[in-house]
Copies of this chain bind each other. A is one copy, B any other.
């Protein structure tokens, strides 16, 4: 018996990457996992945080947020409440850690790449969709950095990074949960891994329940298989040229 949306338990929702969604950032990708839509931007700014000054190395930071209108019932705006909630903090940190696993910060010089993941529409799995889309935006940003002279030499990322959710719903292990499944899942897990199948991050939680070692294994199998597909889709999306006109080469912003 299949899921409400007709998928098999180990099947991803339709995934789409729209590169060049915004004009201004060096990389800008709208990623869709079914009804989940996250706008991922990678902006480049000269300079690094205070604690890193003088190191000669760059930095990558990430911020995640949801539009108030993205959720089933409108959620409060964190800027209006005057502080970032715990969940937002956690996800922002996860995205940053995940992408720092594929980039050579030393090769960036003292420049910062700021990743912004803004959820335009939420239907489960926003954090892993964000990681997956942000990788594509980051790849575009590196292309832009070389073209504009910020990087003297072209840089490539050392591996691909993608993430997916997996959970136990009604006793079954299911991949890429939409909100309808996520809200009644007994176990909820997020996995971030590379195109080589090595793991960057595993976060699994029993929601009012505990889970066995065997279930953990099955969930991780399912997630890694899903990530294998996602990294292929990333490569296909990045096969097209940089989506906007590249800047004329000029002198580095550092000079």
- List A residues at the B interface (Cβ < 8 Å): 22-25, 28, 35, 39, 41, 43, 45, 63, 65, 67-74, 77-80, 82-90, 92-93, 97, 100-101, 114, 116, 118, 120-121, 123, 159, 189, 193-194, 196-206, 208-213, 216-217, 220, 224
Contacts and interface: CB of A to CB of B under 8 A. Distances in A.
Chain A interface, >50% SS class: mixed
B120 A39 contact: yes
A197 B216 contact: no
Contact of A210 (B35, B194, B212): B194
A224 B213 contact: yes
Given A69-B25, A78-B79, A198 B210 contact: yes
Nearest to A63: B77
B86 A83 contact: no
**Assembly stoichiometry (copies):** 6
Contacts of A210: 101, 159, 193-194, 196, 198-200
Given A79-B78, A83-B83, A72 B24 contact: yes
Given A68-B114, A201-B206, A22 B77 contact: no
A198 B212 contact: yes
A32 to B, nearest CB: 12
- Per CB-CB distance, the 7 closest pairs between chain A and chain B, nearest first, are A41-B69, A86-B89, A198-B210, A78-B79, A43-B74, A79-B79, A202-B204
B216 A220 contact: yes
